[in-house]
Each structure stands twice: as structure tokens, then as C-alpha cells.
Structure 1
Amino acid sequence: MTTRLLLILSILAYGIKLQAQSDDKKIDELVFLYVDEKYDKVVDKALSLSQNDKYKRHPLPYIYASMGYYQMSRRPDKFEIAKGEEYQKPLKYAQKYCYTFLKKDKKENQYYDDYKEYYDLLADTSNKLSQHYYLNEDYRKAASNYKYAYRAVTNDPILQLWEGISEVKSKNSVEGDKNILEALEKIDENFEPSEVTAGVLAHGMLIVEEYLTQIGKTTEANKAKKLVDVFKKYDPDELDKQKMAARKEKAKEENKVMRKFYSDDDEDEEDDDE
């Protein structure tokens, strides 16, 4: 089976565009491992390359490490990702290595556009997990997860908005205010939200409007209030309070299962290059 055909099959299977470097066998090996769903080996190989002098500045090993970790996070029954196991906290490492990839690629911006589908997948999963934490009133975890998600998917200020909301709820108003106000500068009535996070934008603006009113930021509060109506159409529950309450109860029921695969350690970690 040719590399080209393998790539086409992988796109159909995962919605991710993979880059085969025909002149680089080491990178091609990552592609083959990924297509074969050997995600633990993808991570091992990618991180090994990142320690090699020839590849430590190359962006692609880091994006493959990220994608490998991401796919493992979706298969807790197949890979050892529970707390204390070899590949624990896979979503957090997926976020971390995506961020490292962006830094490595920043100068020439050679590969960024090739992985847009993956950024959406990472943002979607990160947002859903963070909303789960938020609805269970675990605001510290929600804030931490949103923080790393936004560093990995920097073109989605909805993640930053909810990072700010979660920081405020966890009693870190300095960081919370900063992120809320920065996100508000990026989001206006002409903003086109990402399909994967649009559903939480109106609810977020409603929370922000109430909070900014309380702290006396009238201008920003009025903007948030207007944006609630602008983006309400994306909210699956249309801000229905009864449906929101039902969503919260469902999140509580799911919490026991979620805790099995995600660490209770809330300490922020430095995202140094590997």
C-alpha cells in the first residue's frame, strides 16, 4: 500500500491531514505508526526524535507526539493512561506538545495549516472536559485545562474566555479578569466562532456580563450582554435554565468515570521544550 493511499485512508478515518515527508524516513515512520493506530509507539518514537540533535528543532515530531497522546486519551480501555500508569494525563500532554509544535513552527510557519483539523479535535475534547469540570464546580481543574487548551489552540478566544471564567470561580480574579477582558477584545458581533466551541459562547458571555457588572466594568458588561443575543443561536439549549440544570446533573453522574482517566493533580506544569 502506497504512502499516498495510507494518508488518504487516515484522513477519512480521523479527519486529520497527515504530512508524509518523502525525503525523511524518520518522519514517514511516524506517519505509518499513526495510521496503524500504534499511538503509544508514535509517542515513544516522536519523543525519541525530539532528543536527537537533527530533529529537536523540527516541528513534526512534536505534533505527532501530541496526536498520539490525543488518540490514546480517547481509548482508555486500550492504553495505559490512568493515573500512575505510563501514559497518564494524555490530554494534557497532547495540549503541551501541540503548543511546543506551534513554537517550533512559528518562525517559518511551514506546517501550521496542515493540522487545522486536529486543532479542532483537540479544542473540542478539551472544551468538553473543561465544561465537565466546571459543571461539577471543580473550577481549578477547569481553569487549568482551559489554560493549556488555549495555549495549544491560540486562534480560539472562546477557550480563553472560559479560562477566565473558571479562574474567577476558583478565586483567582487577577488572572481571570485578564483573560476575560483579552477574550472580549477578540470577540465582537462579527466574530465567527469555531464550530466545536460555539455552543458555550453565549452562556459564557452571560456569566461574564453578570460578573463584569458586579465589579463595575459597565462598558465591557454591556458588550457581553449584547453578544449573548448575537451568539445565542449556537447554544444547543438556548440558555434554558432547566436544560442547564439537567446538563449539570449528567456531569455529576459521569464524574466517577472521568476521574479514573484524568489525574487529580491540579498543579500547573512548565511547558518547556522537550
Structure 2
Amino acid sequence: MKFKIQIVIAAAFIFVAGFAKAQEDEFADLRILYMDQKYEKLISKAEGYVDKDKTRKSPEPYLYLSKAYFEMSQLDEYAEKYPPDKAFRDALKWASKYRRKDKEGNIYDENDFYFNELKKSAIEEAGGLMSDEKYSRAKRYYDGITDFDPNDAGAWLMLGYCQMQMRSMQEAKLTYQEAGKALHTADMEKLNSTERKLLLDGVINYSDYLIQEGMKDSARTTLDLARPALEGDSEFEMYLKKVN
């Protein structure tokens, strides 16, 4: 009896491994086109998967569409046919659609290098717009980050700040609620340098707002939540002294 159970278990493992391999191989053509830097062909092929009933719910085609547009936004050879600004916005758009198909982020960590590069570029674009006080345009980039990474507290905080500057106070209130959830649930010690800098900017902007509204204790609570990620940062430590 024990021998039969072992056979059943072994068969189950083989089936699961075979199923996972089949899923991986299903989009091997997209992976190869991406590695070969054939981005226009990759877009055409991935769009085909998006249009098919069998594969439209799979996150991989949407992810590869995002990757293709991002790479083209960085290369001069595509600039005429795919203007960099639009190509980058398309990269964010498809990243958002990818996450809707991968709600639990099952393949997010496998692609963390790509998403970090996408974040860095989005933050850079938004930063320039923030300096020019073009908050409605900067908002799109922070909104895009929260779409593909809903656990990024810094992006939520910066999105809320933009909404406040646009006088969209009800929207900002809801956004800050999402920021609070992310601050409570995110593993702050695992944030990379890009995410920590975004969190620092977001926390300082939000704390300034709370202090102006006479809610200094709430500002201290927010800073305490971010402390595991930011402790030791000179700008953060200076701000803490100012608040305390």
C-alpha cells in the first residue's frame, strides 16, 4: 500500500512539473524574440496571444509587451516610428495590464530587475515634471507604478501628494489610505535603493502635509512606519530631528 502511495505522489509531481514546463514553453517564442531584441516582432506576436481566448488571461504576453515598448523607448533607432514618450507610456500601460492578470504577483519577483528599471525611469520622468509643478502629468507615472506594484508605499504617497496639489482632495484621501495599507504590510527591509528613495520623498511630503494640518502625531506615526527602510539615511534622520 505504501509503495502504491509513493507511485501516486511521484506521478503527481511529474504531472505538476510537466504542466509548469508546458506553460513556460507556451511563451518560449516571446522569450526568444525578446532575447534576440526583435521588439516589433515581439509586439506583434504578444498581441496575438492577447487576442486569443486560450491565452488572453495569461500574464506573460502583457509583460512582454511592456518589456518591448520599454526597450524601444530607450533606443534611438525606434524614435521616429515609436516616439520615446509614447513608447514609455505604453510600457507602463501594458505593465498595468500584466498585473491585473497576475494579481498575486506570481511572476513579479522573477522579473524584478525589469520592474526596477521601469520604476527608475518612471520616477525620473515624474521628478522632472514635479520640479516644473506639472502635477497632473507627474501623477500618471506614480499611478502607473502603483498599478504594476500595488505594494509600493512611496509611489502611493507621491500619487496622493500630486492629487493634493491638483486639489483632488477626496482622491488624495483614498490614495493615502492605500499608502497606509502598503506601509503596514510591505517588508521595508527588502526595499531596493530606488524604492527607498521614492519612499523617502513620499514620506517627507506627506508628513509635511500632516504637520501643516496640525496632525504632528500622525506624521510621527508615518515616519515610524517607514523607519525600518530609511533608518540611517542622512536626509531621513535630519527630518526626524526637525519633526521631533
The alignment's TM-score, normalised by the length of structure 2, stands at 0.74
2:154, 2:201 within 8 Å by CA — same for their partners in 1?
Answer: no
Q: CA deviation at 1:197?
A: 2.4
Measured on the aligned residues, the alpha-carbon RMSD in Å equals 3.2
Q: Secondary structure at the match of 1:78?
A: helix
Q: Is the contact between residue 151 and residue 182 of structure 2 (CA under 8 Å) also seen in structure 1?
A: no
Aligned match for 1:206, one of 204, 207, 218: 204
Contact 1:123 1:153 in 2 (8 A): no
2:77 alignment partner, SS class:
coil
1:127 and 1:89 map into 2 onto residues whose CA distance is: 16
Residue in structure 2 matched with residue 78 of structure 1 by the alignment: 77
Structure 2 counterpart SS, 1:89: helix
| Greater Rg by CA | 2
Q: Distance in 2 between matches of 1:141 and 1:219?
A: 32
Which residue, out of 102, 105, 112, partners 2:99? Answer: 102
Asked whether 1:172 is paired with 2:172, we answer no
Equivalences, count = 216
The structure-2 alpha-carbon separation of the partners of 1:175 and 1:232, relative to structure 1 and needing over 3 Å to count, comes to farther
Deviation at 1:139?
0.8
Give the match for residue 13 of structure 2: none
The one of 149, 152, 156 aligned to 1:153? 149
Deviation string, structure 1 residues 125-153 (Cα, Å, up to 9, x no partner): 11121112111211111112111121012
Deviation at 1:87, TM superposition (A): 7.8
Q: Distance in 2 between matches of 1:168 and 1:116?
A: 30
Equivalent position SS for 1:187:
helix
What aligned pairs does 1:1-274 form with structure 2 within 5 A after superposition? 23-24=25-26, 27-75=27-75, 77-80=76-79, 85=82, 89-106=86-103, 110-187=106-183, 191-192=188-189, 193-224=191-222, 231=230, 233-234=232-233
User: Tell me, which stretches of 5 or more residues in structure 1 are unaligned?
Assistant: 1-18, 241-274
User: How far apart are 1:66 and its partner, in Å?
Assistant: 0.9
Distance 1:191 1:60 in 2: 28
Relative contact order higher in (CA < 8 Å, ≥ 6 apart): 1
Distance 1:149 1:81 in 2: 26
Cα drift, residue 123 of structure 1: 1.6
Deviation (angstroms), 1:91? 2.0
Give the structure with the larger helix fraction.
Answer: 2
- Counterpart CA distance in 1 for 2:107 and 2:219 is 39
Q: Match for 1:212: what amino acid?
A: L
Give the TM-score normalised by structure 1: 0.67
